[in-house]
Structure 1
């Protein structure tokens, strides 16, 4: 990976790592589906302004609507709406860990649908990352009970699966598509649909929406954590192997756990540190390119001539 991609991944990890606790807090303040739909619409409209300033096309062509609607359904309903429902019952740090089972799904889906084969190096990285997630989840796995928390945890894993599907779909159908324009419509179509449904079932309390702190949180989550971050993610996916992109952001749940401890007082355990070490090892194992002995010999022969 070149320095631009590495820098983009690092920035994305910081933004999304800081986001989970803020979203968890916001779900205790705002009605959940009004919050998520407003977040998606605000992010999309901000990007419309950016696209207008850049004097680039905003409206899709006739033949582009169908794949954009399919993508928006996967992102907004499969990923965001499912995640929003589940996070009402699960801590922010644990939510991030469960959603970031996504690279596991990506590894399998990309192998079959993108011809990005799972070589030994990727498999080692995936195994290390999976063991890292298991280490972090181990206390919960020892005390499983059928309750809303467990239901929420399954929904979060489902959210990760839909994110993986959406990422594969983007790679197959929108590899060269304008990334800002893509993000606008993948957020806006589903966001409007969720907003209409939320208005029918959730109460609008003006005092909540007019509070300056709440407005500031919503602005950061929508504009930076959703609009800007998804443009960045869509660009990263277009630049590198899909699996490498996905496993490279597996440090986000670790960052989320640390942010949760610092800002929200959520506990850090030995399991978290072990899991963090395994996940980082998995990222390194998957991302670094190791020259084979044959390649090294050829290089040395060439240098000696």
Structure 2
């Protein structure tokens, strides 16, 4: 990876690592689906203004709409709406760990749909990640019964799956597409549909939305943590192997666990720490092997 990609990954990790606790806090203030719809729409409108200032095209071509709608529904409903529903019942650090099982799904999906082959190193990384997931869920697995925490954890894993699925779909259909335009319509289309449903079923308290502190938090989450960050993510995925991109941002759940513990006083149980260690070990193992393979391939090409 070149310095631009590495710098983009480092910046993305910092932004997304700081985001989970703020999202969890916001769910105690705002109605969940009004919050996520406003987050998506505000992010899209801000990017639209930037795109206009840069004098770049905003409206998609007629033939782009179908793929954009599919991509938007997957990311807005499958990822964002599912995630915000589940985070009402699960701590922010644990939520990040479960959503960032996304590389497990990426590895399998990319193998079948992008011809990014699963080698032994990737498979071992996926096994370690799965063991980490089992460790995190172990207290629930010992006494399986339906409760809101277990349902929330299931939906967070489902959210990670939809993120992986959207990433594969985007890589396959939008590899050379303007990444800012792509992000605008991914967020705006699905966000508008969620807003319609939220206005019907959720209460509106204007004093909550006009509070300066609340507005500042929403602005950061929407503009920086969603709009800017997803443009960055879409660009990173277009530059490197999707599995490499996904494992490269796996320090985010560790940062989220740290921020959740320090800022929001969320507990760090032994099974969460063990699970996080397994997941990160799988990521590091895969990453180091992939880099080694890349160097080997470069040496062969030079010989």
TM-score in same-fold range (> 0.5):
yes
Which range moved further: 265-274 or 95-104? 265-274
1:299 CA displacement: 9.7
1:1-305 alignment to 2 at 5 Å?
Answer: 1-288=1-288, 289-290=291-292
1:99 CA displacement: 1.2
2:292 match: secondary structure: coil
Instruction: Provide the rounded CA distance (Å) in 2 between the counterparts of 1:119 and 1:158.
Output: 25
What's the TM-score once normalised by structure 2's chain length? Answer: 0.92
What's the TM-score once normalised by structure 1's chain length? Answer: 0.92
Q: Is the 8 A contact 2:97 2:276 kept in 1?
A: no
Instruction: Provide the rounded CA distance (Å) in 2 between the counterparts of 1:296 and 1:44.
Output: 40
Rate the CA distance shift 1:110–1:299 in 2: closer, same or farther, 3 A.
closer
Instruction: Provide the rounded CA distance (Å) in 1 between the counterparts of 2:87 and 2:226.
Output: 17
Q: Is the 8 A contact 1:41 1:188 kept in 2?
A: yes
Structure 1's unaligned 5+ residue stretches are none
1:290 match: secondary structure: helix
Q: Is the 8 A contact 1:251 1:276 kept in 2?
A: no
Rate the CA distance shift 1:158–1:211 in 2: closer, same or farther, 3 A.
same
Q: Is the 8 A contact 2:94 2:272 kept in 1?
A: no
Which range moved further: 125-134 or 30-39? 125-134
1:246 CA displacement: 1.1
Instruction: Provide the rounded CA distance (Å) in 2 between the counterparts of 1:117 and 1:9.
Output: 23
Q: Deviations over 1:185-229 (max 9, x none)?
A: 000000011111111111110110011110011001000110011
1:296 CA displacement: 10
2:266 match: secondary structure: coil
1:287 CA displacement: 2.1
Structure 2's unaligned 5+ residue stretches are none
| Greater Cα radius of gyration, structure 1 or 2 | 1
Instruction: Provide the rounded CA distance (Å) in 2 between the counterparts of 1:58 and 1:216.
Output: 27
Q: RMSD between aligned alpha carbons?
A: 2.2
1:90 CA displacement: 1.3
Instruction: Provide the rounded CA distance (Å) in 1 between the counterparts of 2:139 and 2:21.
Output: 20
Instruction: Provide the rounded CA distance (Å) in 2 between the counterparts of 1:251 and 1:218.
Output: 24
2:58 match: secondary structure: coil
